[in-house]
Amino acid sequence: MNLPNKITVSRILLIPVFLVIMLADFSWGEMTLLGVTLPVSHFVGALLFILASTTDWVDGYFARKYNLVTDLGKFLDPLADKLLVSAALVVLVNYDMASAWITIVIISREFAVTGLRAILAGGGEVVAANMLGKIKTWAQIVAISALLLHNMIFQLVGLPFGKIALWVALIFTIWSGWDYFNKNKHVFANSK
């Protein structure tokens, strides 16, 4: 278990903490910041989500810089991203801040790609996330962060940035899912 993998595991361990902060009734009150009034728990949860999300960049940086890329890391890193994003989307649906159908499409794609990765791993192939997948992940993180922060800053000009960003994330989610399956269609051709 090298440093990048430990950082990835820390991202997974932050998910239940994020969920408790967002879903438990702590009654911390509300705060107003940059034109938005939101529960303090949502602000703290958003910061925790952003912190957890940045570990995706940190673990990748250390893995590449110190040549610590492992098959475990190639498997755990995208899985950690999927778990974090899925948890945050469910929270957003719970608070009626994201559409349930968009969340279902995104989470379904994540399950499908994880299943395909498992099939590939069973055949000895471990595939790291490609650039389209990374763009998809960051689009999701930006959208979720904006929504968790109740569209802070953009609310001042009446721009529903969080909702627009979620649509962009949905497009990249579908596109990258199609790309992933298309590039690995040999799995289905060989499964007769």
| Residues 173 and 105: beta-carbon distance below 8 Å | yes
pTM: 0.91
What pLDDT sits at residue 190?
65
Name the DSSP letter for residue 151. Answer: T
Residue 3 and residue 68: Cα distance in Å, rounded? 8
| Residues 5 and 76: beta-carbon distance below 8 Å | yes
Residue 89 and residue 104: Cα distance in Å, rounded? 9
What pLDDT sits at residue 192?
59
The conformational region for residue 26 under phi > 0 = left, psi -120 to 50 = alpha, else beta, is alpha
Quick: pLDDT tens for 73-123. Answer: 888 888 899 999 999 999 999 999 999 999 999 999 999 998 898 888 888
177 Cβ neighbours under 8 A, 6+ residues apart:
109, 112, 113
Quick: pLDDT tens for 30-50. Answer: 999 988 999 999 999 999 999
